[in-house]
Structure formats: structure tokens, C-alpha cells
Structure 1
Amino acid sequence: MRAVATNRAYAVRIPAWSSDRLRVLRLLLALCAVTAFFATATPARAAEATPVTRAAYLADRLRENPVHVTDQLPREISRSTAPDFARLAKKTGVPTYVLVLPSQSSTDGKQLLGAVHDRLGRDGLYVLVDDSAVAEATAYGVRVPADAASTVAMYELPYDAGPLRSFERFVDVIAQGGEKATARAEAARETYRDDEPGEMYIGPSDRRNQSFVTGILLTGVPLLILLVAGYAGRRRRRSGAGGRVPRWVAPGAAVVTAAAIALTATVVFDQTRSSAAEPPTPADLSARVDRVAAGLKKDPVYADPESPRVLDSRQSDRLHDRIRDFRRSDGGGPVYVSLVPQTPASESAGDSWLFAAAVHAETRQDGLYVVADPDDGTIDLYNYGLRIDADRLSFDLPDAVTFGDSRADEADDHLLGERLDTLMTFLDKAPRTDRPDFESRPAAAPKADEHTLPPLFATDFWPGLFVGAFAALLLSGVVAGGMWIAGRLLRRRDPTPEPTDLLPFTAPTEPSASCLRRTAYTELTTLISEFTDPDDRTRAWDHLDAAMLLVDGDPDRARAAGTDPATLVAVIVLARAGRAALADDADDADDADDADDADDPRHDLCCGVNPLHGPAASRHHVRVSAQGNSRRLLPVCEPCRDTAVAEPGGIPGRLLKLPDPSLGNSRVPYYDATDGPLTAVPHGIARLIDKVRETAGVH
């Protein structure tokens, strides 16, 4: 019985004890299972999701090659320039490590270089170059004038010199040594304290201005030469000064001037590029897209390792979870997030739409592509193949998500983690459609060689041609108007103008018929108007009477077409002599000597070389033909007398020549061109008057 009781008691106690143990055991097994799950799953994902720090990534790149050129600036400085940086770095004489990164990376350049040095563990000169110049330089374990070299490169070069030229200047100063480098830095700081060097390159607008100025000069100056030459030629012909200038001189000068302007413009405006950047290769333009696409194939969130970290581990894990949940949701799909800066120097020229399209084409995976810029904090979303309402994505996405708010502007990370989480919430609630939606094709990227300037003789060169022609015409009109106004003002300022000054005195060598008609009519009508007493029978009356006989008593016939040029010359000579006689008679201050001068027979003579020259000063044997040595005794004015003495061969060019009807358009000396009264000019005005009266049958 005891045994049975004992066994029964044991049997009763065993189930109670086993039930408690089983509960504990089950709980322990459950905890072990959970622990095993997180031990096998979570650490592995955390290891994959933990980003490599920027300093560690850059240190690895320098471990592979002492010069690392980013793939994010192909339009300003391509990766193919790495050998040039390496060649220059050898001139420093110490181990030199060069990082060429976007400018946003240089905001904490000294700390970045220090962190990279600690990761790399090698002493030397560490240089950070951005997309324009040397941004920072620090020496670790070596003695080089890094600060002085940075100062020289900053002050001596203009801002558009380019990063490669800036690094070259930096290296040259390093090679000079400490004392010379310090002195050069002080000199550069003093020289360019208030002003910086002039720009090395011009922009497209500057080239258009150059083309415009070239066009203006190319038409304005030659046309102005032609206009001025034509005006001067007319003045020369009217004044009778010297011989005629060959017709080809003015056009030839205009053509030579145009050629000189074109040649000079090509030499002075010889710029061909607007930047120091060399054209990128196709590999340079595709390097970053390939890198981002490869990263997105492994992880839907790609953070640019060269940029500051904007997502911490917690934010990154949550974003991964939200992306996974959205992919599994009804109507959802893949989401690819690129935390990559979009700069104008990138392959897409800062266009996130173009960048997303290129990445999508490379990954060949449909989904929502999110481009988050860690530099300016903008977030852009593009749909390739998901059934999400396109209008909702385009118009309903809050600006606080796309551009951020004031808090995001003040934060270093632009609150991208928080805003991306809000974006995923927005996507979870976005309406689905029956058909997948695809982004349209973005505009093409700017050409790779966008820094090449247009040709000089293009763009605004053509408008410049028209403006130059208009300016030449306008300037010539202004000059003519100014000369006319100046002449009027000078005549008004003279209170007692001489009668002979009231008309322009013209003495052309080969006058045209229109010029003779105009001058004859003006001189004759002026002489008539100066007669105050019609009954006064002075010498001037004899001149007027003879002139009126030549035009049959009608002054208007002097300007009528068809009047003989020799007759017109005789009218001009008689009218001018009559006006001179009136001036002599009106001079009440004449003394006895003046009266003797009036009776001088030479006073009645006019120049026999060209009667339009006016009164003669003496008689002289002059050469009247360019061929041979034929001479005639003629009365000559003072200029002709001086020419006959100093240069006898110049007299034939000063002879008045009139058309000879028997020889067509040829011209001969006036005394050979007619057998009328004009032939009497060499014998004096009185003989001319007698000859006119004899011809008219008046005694």
C-alpha cells in the first residue's frame, strides 16, 4: 500500500511539475527562436545597411591611387584629368594626395582632410580641390609651405582659371620653398588686396558683343570712308584745288580698311572657349550614372559616399522598412532612392529628371525613382511603370516634402530622413490606377562641349552689319548738318561781310555743266541785286551789261540746260569782276595810292590759267602742255605764279578744261574749246567785254 501510495503520490506530483516545466521550456524555446532569428537576420541587414563613412571611402580611393577625381563634375573637370594632377603632384617633392570633389565637400575641408589622413595612415601633403580651385591643403609629417601656396593660388589667378591651373600654380609655389613662397604670398596679398586679376575667359554674351562690334566696324568704317571721300571730292572739284583724285582710290581704301578690320578682329577676339574645362569623354559622362545604378541594384537606397551623410542608421533602417512594405502593398512596387547631389557640372547639368531617366535606363528596373539632393535638400519623384495616379504625384505632393521648410533650411541634413518618411506615407495613401504610368522623355542634356564659343562672324555679327551701315549714314548726316550750322553761325558773327564773301568762291578745274549753270545764275543774280542805282554807268555796269548780253537779257537762261559751258564761264567771270568793281567804288576810304592801283592795267586782268581763279597778279610764261615744253605768256594769279616758279609742270593740271563737242567727252583748255568771247580772257576784262559786244552786234 505504501508503495502504491508512494507511486500514486509520485504520479500525482509528476504531472503538476511537468506542466510548469513545460511552460517554462516553451517560453525559453520561444525566446531562443526569436533570439536566433534576430541573430541571423537583423545583424546581417544592419551590416549591409551600415554606410561607409565619407573619410573611409576617400581613404580607400587614395590607397588605390594618390589622386582621386570625382565622377560628379565631368562638365568642369573630368576624371581623365587625373594623370595631369598626378604629374603635377610629383613636383612637390613630398608624398602628395589629391582629392578633387564637388564644392559642397570643401565646406569642412580641413576636418575632411584630417579624417582621411587618419584613415589612410600615411604622412604627406593632402590637397582638396573643388570645381574651381584649390580649396584646402594640409601637411602631415612633412614641411611644405601649404598655406602660402594656397594664398598665391587664390590671389594670383582669376576665379575662372580652373582647378587644374590653380593646382599647377599651387605646386609651383610649393617647389619654391618656404621663404620664397611666403614672400610671394605676401606680395600677392598686397597686390590683389582690393582687386582681383582679370577674367581669363569670356562668356557667350561677350562673344555676341564682339561679333556685334565687328559687324558695326566692318560696314560702318568703310562706308564712312566712301561718304567722306565723296564729299571731299565734291568740295575739291568746286574749289579747283589740284588735280582730280582717281576714282579707285576711295573704294580701294574702303576695301583695304574692311580687310584690316576683319583681320584685326580675328586677332584681338581670338578666344575659342568660355571655360578652362576640357570636353568630357562619353565614359566621363556615364561614370556616375553607372555607379548609382549599380548601387541601386544592390540596395534601394543609395547614398553618395563622397557627400556628407544625411541619414543616420535609424532613419536608414526605417526607410528600408517603408520601401519594403510599399513594395508588398496592393498597387505598390519598387522604390529607388538616390541621395546624390545634382550640380550644373554633372552629366545631367543639374537636371534631376534627366538623371533619373538615365539611371532607370541603366538599371532597367521599373519603379518610383526618388532623387534627393543632400546639397540643397530638394526631393524629386519620377514614376516608371507603377500604377500610381500621375496627377497626384505631380500636383498633390506637399512643398514641404519637395523643397522643405524653414526648419529644413537651417538643418545640415535638410531633414531628408524625416521628409523621405513623409514621402513614403504620401505614397501609401496615393490612389492607384488600372494602368501603369511612365514619365515622358526629358529634354536632351546640353552638349558635352558646351564651353566652345560660337564663331566670331556669326550670331550678332549680321545685325551689326546693318547697324554699322545705318550709323555711317547717320554720322555723315550729322557731320554735314554740323558744318552747315557752323557756317551759318560764322557768317552771323561777322558784322560786315564783304560782298565777295556772300557767295562761295569755287574754281574747279574740270567743272560739270550743272555746276557752271548754278554758279553763273547765282553770281549774275547777286550782281543785279547789288546795283542800287540803275542809272549809274560805272565799270560794274559794263560788266553786267556784257553778262546780260551773253544770256540775251534773261538771267534764267544762265541755268537753262543746253547753255554752252564757255558762255557760262564768261558770265561767271564778268559777274565776279562786276561785283569786285562795285566793292572798289563803294570804298570811301581809298587813298591816292589805292586809286593808282585801280588804274593799274593788271587790275583788269584775270588769271589766264583758270579764269575762275579771279584777278591776276602778274604775267608769266607758263607751260600749257604736259607733253613737250610749249609755253605761253599769260596773266596768272598768285597761286598759279607760285606753281609756275616752283613746279612748272604743275600748270597744265591747273588749266581750266571744258568739254570739246568735236571730241566727245574729252576736255581741252578753255581757249581751245571755243572761238567765242572767252578766248579774250587772257587779254583782260575790257577786251572780254568788247568781244561780247562785237559778237552780239552792240557798239
Structure 2
Amino acid sequence: MRDVRYARATAFASGDVRLRHRMHRGHVLGVVLLLLCAFWTATGAATATPAQASPQAADDTSQAAHLADRLRANPVYVTDQLPREIPHSTAPDFARLAKRTGVPTYVLVLPGQSTTNGDALLGAVHDRLGRDGLYVLVDYMGVTNAVAFGVRAPAADAETAALYELPYDAGPLRSFERFAEVVAQGGEKAAARAEAAREKYGSDGGEEPEQLYIGPADRENQSFLTGILVVGVPLLMLLLTAFVRRWRRRLPSARAAKPGSTKPRAAASRVPRGAVAGVALLTAVAIALTAWLTFDQTTSSAARTPTAADLSARVERVAARLKQDPVYTDPESPQVLDAGEKDRLRDRISEFGRSRSGGPVFVFVVPQMYEDESAGDPYVFAEAVHAKVGKDGVYVVADPLEGGISVVSYGLRLDNNHLLFDLPDSISDGDDSGESGESDGYRLSERLDRLMTFLDKTPRTDAPNSPDPDLKPEPIESHALRPLFSGDFWPGLLVGAFAALLVFAIVAGVLGIVGAVLRRRNPAPLPTAALPFEAPTDPSTAYLRRTAQTELSELARMFTEDQVPNPVGAGAEPLADIRAWDCFDSAMLLVDGDIDALADDDVDPASLVAVIVLARAGRAAFTGDTNNLCCGLNPLHGPAVSRHHLRVSGPAETVRRRLLPVCQPCRETAIVEPSTVHTLRMTLPPGQGGQGDGERMPYEEATGPLPAVRNGIPQLIDKVREFVSVR
């Protein structure tokens, strides 16, 4: 506008000059006055236009001109101010991705605060460059702005898709890659993709894209968890397998043979010794392999590791300009100092250099960010610039994005402590009243002028001094994650062992309680020596069913142990082997091959007693005891020790004496108190095997095979087989 108005004013003035030669001499004065008015108007218009323009517009124009020059040399420009996040050396990667869009693409990778209006900056750069294409602005987070000039490209939709589809840690390179991918799909597909991403990940969708990277703390957690599982799970398997195996053997429900079968389980079906240890070892290997494949992350960030050239590029750029001019403003950033303010600052610097104990002053208006080579520390940056410039003096770092000012003196007689601790906040941090801000450049010109006054009044020292020369930037953070099997993996092994023991203790306690309840409901068989004292003379049907199920289940369990009797009697104890098998087979015949049938009413009391006697005889055969006789007064008393003449009738009945086998307690009773022997004779409750009139009856009067027990176990076995075959 300024050039247009100036051209119009000049043309107008030139026209009047030509007209003057054709006019009458009498009108010379009027023409001169007219020319003076035209000149005044043109001059006023030319000077008023920049005064009325906003500072931001002027800054964008100067910033845009510099960026346009960079894009004229290369369509992809990556700033040197973000080496910790976007090293300058990544420019070829951005250029490679830019070719995928299918249209001329110009990429600017700048700090996020380089402009407050990205679209306006891209428009200004396009006007300066004069080339149509897709203009893209990228910061350390990703694509922030994209505008198409003179080409058909879904810039807005691609920007939306890249914003919503990727997590916040995707990084600028991946964000631009997604942007280029969507642009290449065309307008229709890009619009649909942007809408889908907005619906899924927008404020109404409620979903978030899954993060692509994990931090060092997450890797330590993964290592710790892996260590716990690698040791804890196999160890718990070993402990629980052995414990549960023993626990199940003690359970009444686990002592029975397979329902519906009269044959015991073969010993060959048992798990081979060492198999559990092998499975535990394979489990540990499988867990380690699965963890290695699942936790396969190798880096914690999308940022590339910068090279030495990336870290020194900005310092060298600033130092090279300071060698030519003591005032340097970063051309990539908004311009907060105009030409007049720079000239006044140079004059103040010259005055300070000529003053007593003064010296050179270098002012560089450059952003200070955590992503730069000095990690946002202005004193570290000043130290690096001083080393490159190679001249002592006062180095002033002014941040055009945040407005901060930092000062440090090298080799002058200025008190650095005074500069560091006594610099007024109004100079170092600006006006906190809210009247100053980014819109007016944080009043850097005014504050730098006050800084020069402050330097004039700074106390002098006796000798030149400099700050600590060992001031170093924060080390470049390595984004490589530690190996999975390191760090907290080793403590995890120990914790895994303790966790396995803790879980085992809890499980063992719970199973112990469950086992106690089950054993109380289904008690284990009584020892043989205790039978005469515990077995009732007048047992109830419930007692007989419970005892029969317990005894037969225990015999079936013994057949599942390693030493199964040989049915053909070819073992070391052939008679015992045959006896155990015959007893088990006969007892199973009475229940039709199903131990659970003992809980039904189909088995009468006499058969229940026969099952009990046979099961106990079979269990005794496992220990080598093949005694054929059991107590004739009460078969539930167990083995007999001898035969004895007994009076089996009551005092009011006709005297009846019989020669019966008796156990030791019954024999002693027959000798000491023979008149009371009849009270020891077992009677059966009413049932299918006895009389149906509701009265109890002596067991030897019952129908079925039970009365044969007085003659011995072999006779009982034969009677059972005969009874079952007839039945």
C-alpha cells in the first residue's frame, strides 16, 4: 500500500510539472501551491500508513520475508531452534514425506510461539514467495496450520485427521506423515476420514488414541512385573501341584474310584515324576518370551537424537551475526524491535563502551525454550555464544516470545552478582500489571534502554571477572529405553518368590478349611484297633451308609496308589493281592459298581454291613493281613482273634450257645462277664434285608450274603458273588 500510494503521489506530481510548462506565467504561484499540497499529501500518506499498521502485521511481514527466502532455497525449512525435539537434520525426512501429497508442498517447522496466527503467517509467506502450493506449518507437537494456495488439496481435513487420529506423543514427523497421507487420498476421502476422526476422538466421542511411547518409569514397571511373573507363576505351580495332590488324596470325595466302573484306575495314568517341574520351566520361558514380545518398545519418544551440528547450529548463527553487529534479532521470531529502536540501542551500547570501566555489549533477541540446545537456560546459551564470539563483554539474552531478559558479564569489571541478583524485575521480567505483553513486544526496547542505564550504575570490581566457566547445558536425554530384563527385573524376581509363597499360604489355608469341613462330613476310616470300642451295637441306617461310603472310597483310593495289587496273584504277596482285589470287586458288586449308590435307599442295611466288612478286609490285605475271620458278635468290630463258646440268648430266653469267632474285647467280656455277651450282638435296623415290621433284628437272621461272614471272609465273598448272580 505504501508503494502504491507513493507511486500515485509521484505520478500526480510529475503530471503537474508537465502541466506547469503549458500554463500561463500568471498561474505559476497557484501551480506551485498545488504542487506543495500534492507533495505534502503524498508524504503524509507514505508516513501515515506504517504508523497505522499493527505491530503484529509489521512483524509478520518481516518474519514472512525471511521464511520466504528460506523456502525459496528449499521447499522444506526446519528451524535450528528445536534440536532436542526436531533436529535440523530431519529436514530430508520432511522433504521425503512432502512429496507424497501429490502437490507442491512448502513446509515450515518452527517453534510453537513463533506466531499467534499461523494461517496469516502462511499467507504472508506465500505472498512473499509468489508460488502456489500447499503451505504447512509444523511445531514440536505436530501440524498446526495448513493452507492451499492455487492447488486443490484438502488441507483442513488432513489437518483435522492428523490432530484427532494420533496421540499427543506421536511427534511432528509422524503427524506430518499422517497429514500427507490424508492429503494424497483426495478431498472426498479426506473429508470422510476427518469427520470419522472427529466423531470418535472429539469432545463428544470420549475416546483417546492409544499412546505410542512409554516412559522410563513404565519400562521399570514392565521389568518389575515380568520378574514377578517369571518366578512367581512357576514357583506357585510347583507348590500348589504338590500340595493339591496331597490334599485331594485326603478328601473323601477323591478316594472313590471312577463312578460306573468296577476297575481301579491304572497307575500308568499318573503324571510322571518331574513332569510338573518341566511344565513350570516351560511356563517361565513362555512368560519371558511373551513379555519380550509384548513389551517391545525400544524408545520413549518420537524425538530424534540430535547431532553435534544440530546442537551448535543456532549458536554459530547468532555468534556469526554478533561479530558483525552487537544487536541481533532472530528473523524466525516476531520482530519486537524496529530499525529506529535498534539504532538507539546501538548508540547506548557505543556510549557504554566508551564509558569508564565499560566495554562491549552484545544483545541477541532469541527465543529460549526447553527444546533448544541450552534447554531454555539463557545463561547457558550466553556462555555458548560467548565462546563462539571470542570477545569479552556484556552478553544480554532477550526472549521475544516470553519477554525475559538475562544479563551476564565476561572479562569486565562489572559485579556479576549485582547483575544476577539485583536486576530489577521490571527489566528482567517486564511489567506484571497486564499493560505489557506479546502485542507490544513486551516493551523490550524500553526495558533494554533501562538495562543500559542499569549497566552504567552497576558497581565496578577491582579486577575483571567472569561467571563460572563450567556452566553446561542439561545433557541430551536419551530416548532409548532400558532392556526389559534389567533394572527392576531383578528385584521383581525376589518379589515374585515372596508373592508365590504368600498366595500359596492363602490357598493352602482356604483348602485346609475346605478339607476340614469335607472330612467332618465324610470322616476317614477308623483305625482297626479302635473299631471294637467305636462301632455301635445297634447302628442306624445313616451310620451304615456313611461308614460304607467312607470305607469303600478309601479302598478305591488305595487302588490308585503306585502299588496296585495284581489280580492274578503274581506279585510278591499273591494271596494278599488276590484278597484285596476280591474284596474290592465283591463290595462294588453290592453297589452295582457305583460308590455313589451308597447314598441311595436301594442298598439295604445288611448289604451296607457286608460292604463295610469287605472294604476293611481289602484295606487290611494291602498291609499283608489276610485274616479270614471277623468278630461273630459284631462284624463291625473288625478281625477276630480266636473262637469262643458264647451264650447268645438273653436271660429270659432259652439258653443258646454257639462257637463264634470274637475280637479281643468281646473275648474278654465272654470270659469275665459271660451273661452280658448277648448285649454285644449287632442288630440291624428295619429294611429290605430284614423284617419289615419296624423292629431291629440280629444281623445273622438277615437275608442275603451277610450271615456268611461268621464263617470267614472267603465265604462272604463267595456268597456275595452267588447272591449277585442270582439277583
Q: Distance in 1 between matches of 2:367 and 2:570?
A: 91
Q: Distance in 1 between matches of 2:574 and 2:513?
A: 48
Structure 2 residue 700 is the aligned partner of structure 1 residue 688? no
Structure 2 residue 216 is the aligned partner of structure 1 residue 216? no
Q: Distance in 1 between matches of 2:334 and 2:118?
A: 12
Structure 2 residue 540 is the aligned partner of structure 1 residue 505? no
2:302 equivalent in structure 1: 276
- 1:392/1:681 CA distance change after superposition, 3 Å: farther
Q: Distance in 2 between matches of 1:450 and 1:263?
A: 26
So what's the TM-score if we normalise by structure 1? 0.68
Structure 2 residue 228 is the aligned partner of structure 1 residue 200? no
1:291 equivalent in structure 2: 317
Structure 2 residue 276 is the aligned partner of structure 1 residue 264? no
- 1:444/1:483 CA distance change after superposition, 3 Å: farther
Shift of 1:351: 2.5
1:385 equivalent in structure 2: 411
Shift of 1:67: 1.0
User: Is the partner of 2:315 in helix, strand or coil?
Assistant: helix
1:465 equivalent in structure 2: 493
Q: Distance in 2 between matches of 1:105 and 1:469?
A: 55
CA contact (8 A) 2:115 2:333 kept: no
1:454 equivalent in structure 2: 482
CA contact (8 A) 1:354 1:442 kept: no
User: Is the partner of 2:578 in helix, strand or coil?
Assistant: strand
Shift of 1:420: 2.2
Alpha-carbon deviations, 1:230-283, whole Å to 9, x = none?
A: 321332454585767555233333322221111111111101112222222221
Alpha-carbon deviations, 1:305-328, whole Å to 9, x = none?
A: 111112233332232222222222
So what's the TM-score if we normalise by structure 2? 0.65
User: Is the partner of 2:567 in helix, strand or coil?
Assistant: strand
What letter corresponds to residue 225 of structure 2 in structure 1?
V
Shift of 1:501: 3.3
Alpha-carbon deviations, 1:631-671, whole Å to 9, x = none?
A: 614353479959xx99xxxxxxxxxxxxxxxxxxxxxx986
Shift of 1:110: 1.0
Which structure 2 residues correspond to residues 130-169 of structure 1 after superposition, within 5 A?
130-169=139-178
- 1:681/1:475 CA distance change after superposition, 3 Å: farther
Alpha-carbon deviations, 1:537-591, whole Å to 9, x = none?
A: xxxxxxxxxxxxxxxxxxxxxxxxxxxxxxxxxxx23325753x23x6353999x
Shift of 1:290: 1.0
Structure 2 residue 363 is the aligned partner of structure 1 residue 363? no
Which structure 2 residues correspond to residues 407-556 of structure 1 after superposition, within 5 A?
407=433, 410-412=436-438, 413-442=441-470, 444-448=472-476, 450-484=478-512, 501=520, 505=524
Q: Distance in 2 between matches of 1:107 and 1:383?
A: 34
Where do 5+ consecutive residues of structure 1 fail to align? 1-49, 492-499, 507-522, 524-571, 615-619, 647-668
1:33 equivalent in structure 2: none
Q: Distance in 2 between matches of 1:278 and 1:261?
A: 32
- 1:101/1:247 CA distance change after superposition, 3 Å: same
2:399 equivalent in structure 1: 373
What letter corresponds to residue 77 of structure 1 in structure 2?
I
CA contact (8 A) 1:608 1:682 kept: no
CA contact (8 A) 2:105 2:135 kept: yes
Q: Distance in 2 between matches of 1:632 and 1:317?
A: 120
User: Is the partner of 1:632 in helix, strand or coil?
Assistant: helix
Shift of 1:611: 10
Q: Distance in 1 between matches of 2:553 and 2:151?
A: 100
Which of 135, 144, 151 is matched with 1:126 structurally? 135
Shift of 1:477: 2.4
User: Is the partner of 1:68 in helix, strand or coil?
Assistant: strand
1:517 equivalent in structure 2: none
- 1:200/1:621 CA distance change after superposition, 3 Å: closer
User: Is the partner of 1:211 in helix, strand or coil?
Assistant: helix
- 1:679/1:434 CA distance change after superposition, 3 Å: farther
Which structure 2 residues correspond to residues 621-632 of structure 1 after superposition, within 5 A?
622=567, 632=578
Q: Give the aligned length.
A: 535
Shift of 1:134: 1.3
User: Is the partner of 1:161 in helix, strand or coil?
Assistant: coil
CA contact (8 A) 1:607 1:636 kept: no
Q: Distance in 2 between matches of 1:437 and 1:679?
A: 110
Q: Distance in 2 between matches of 1:314 and 1:211?
A: 61
Q: Distance in 1 between matches of 2:275 and 2:587?
A: 26
Q: Distance in 2 between matches of 1:281 and 1:226?
A: 52
Structure 2 residue 538 is the aligned partner of structure 1 residue 585? yes
Q: Distance in 1 between matches of 2:198 and 2:271?
A: 61
Where do 5+ consecutive residues of structure 2 fail to align? 1-57, 256-264, 560-564, 594-618, 643-661, 672-727
2:122 equivalent in structure 1: 113
User: Is the partner of 2:641 in helix, strand or coil?
Assistant: helix
458-467 or 206-215: which moved more? 458-467
Structure 2 residue 422 is the aligned partner of structure 1 residue 396? yes
State the superposition RMSD in angstroms: 4.0
User: Is the partner of 2:314 in helix, strand or coil?
Assistant: helix
Structure 2 residue 327 is the aligned partner of structure 1 residue 301? yes
User: Is the partner of 2:291 in helix, strand or coil?
Assistant: helix
Q: Distance in 2 between matches of 1:188 and 1:152?
A: 6
Alpha-carbon deviations, 1:195-245, whole Å to 9, x = none?
A: 332211122222222222222222222222222123213324545857675
Alpha-carbon deviations, 1:157-187, whole Å to 9, x = none?
A: 2222222222222222222222222222222
